[in-house]
């Protein structure tokens, strides 16, 4: 693997990935992976490298923290439950010094982990078991938003992921090219998934979108999420908008049918 060597574990005798700290010399975008599951490190690293990225891998948060601060990548993906230092503590300490884009890998149905990670400053989260296609789509979107350059030779984005024109609906302004949102001129920080759901609603104000339609807008075809996941995203979005406007009521619920955007 690029930017990775395999060293024998002194206790088990098994080989485990150890990152090189030197940045790639060819200018590729660097993604750091932090997880104690060697299979995940290997499979995700291979998938990213096939898309033109360089990778650095770390098996625990303690080892990752110093490397992420001393030699920052363009984006980091890490698990929450790890030895020595878990993902929450890693993110907390990282945010004291860095605004490095971060995607969390969380356990399925652990909404409290998702909430805590986002509050600490994660850019997005993906529940395990996860689709590599979904992870790649989220990485591309976050790199666009953070002005990082996609790697030369990377696979082109599908039409559904390519930037479109700015959406303006009353006090709402959405910039799909940067995944940036403002409400009445004030920035609202949304995850990529939240942005895609809101974009689907705002494209046709007043039209009710079912949960299935919103799932289709936010997730690739091979990813299954249940109704509660969409409801959780909507709940978080409303809370974020009400933080800048306590009278926000632009996302309507029609019980049993879905959601719509009310242009004010």
* CA pair distance 37, 45, nearest whole angstrom: 12
* pLDDT, tens only, 148-197: 444 444 444 444 444 568 999 999 999 988 788 999 999 998 888 889 89
192 contacts 123 by C-beta, under 8 angstroms: yes
CB 40 within 8 A of CB 87: no
> Considering the domain 163-261 in this protein, what is its CATH number?
1.10.10.10
Q: Does domain 4-145 have CATH number 3.40.50.300?
A: no
**Class of residue 105 by CB neighbours under 10 A (exposed 0-12, middle 13-18, buried 19+):** buried
DSSP E strands, 59-158: 75-79, 102-107, 124-128
C-alpha–C-alpha distance, residues 129 and 107, integer Å: 8
- Ordered by start, the domain boundaries in the chain are 4-145, 163-261
pTM for the whole thing? 0.67
pLDDT in tens, 211-254: 889 988 887 655 556 667 788 889 889 999 999 999 999 999 99
């Amino acid at each position: 693997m690029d930017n990775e060597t395999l060293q024998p574990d002194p206790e088990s005798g098994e080989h485990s990935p150890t990152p090189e700290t030197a940045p790639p010399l060819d200018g590729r975008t660097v993604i750091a992976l932090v997880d104690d599951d060697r299979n995940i490190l290997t499979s995700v690293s291979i998938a990213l490298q096939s898309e033109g990225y360089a990778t650095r891998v770390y098996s625990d948060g303690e080892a990752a923290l110093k490397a992420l601060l001393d030699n920052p990548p363009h984006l980091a993906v890490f698990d929450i439950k790890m030895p020595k230092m878990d993902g929450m503590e890693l993110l907390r300490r990282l945010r004291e010094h860095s605004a490095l884009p971060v995607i969390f890998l969380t356990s399925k149905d652990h909404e409290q982990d998702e909430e805590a990670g986002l509050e600490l400053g994660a850019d997005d989260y993906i529940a395990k078991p996860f689709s590599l296609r979904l992870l790649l789509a989220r990485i591309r979107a976050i790199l666009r938003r953070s002005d990082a350059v996609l790697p030369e030779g990377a696979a082109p984005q599908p039409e559904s992921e390519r930037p479109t024109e700015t959406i303006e609906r009353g006090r709402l302004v959405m910039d799909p090219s940067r995944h940036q949102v403002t409400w009445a001129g004030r920035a609202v920080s949304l995850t990529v998934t939240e942005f895609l759901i809101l974009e689907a609603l705002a494209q046709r104000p007043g039209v009710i979108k079912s949960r299935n339609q919103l799932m289709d807008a936010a997730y690739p075809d091979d990813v299954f999420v249940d109704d509660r996941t969409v409801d959780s995203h909507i709940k978080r979005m409303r809370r974020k908008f009400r933080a800048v406007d306590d009278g926000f009521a632009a996302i309507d619920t029609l019980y049993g049918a879905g959601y719509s955007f009310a242009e004010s």
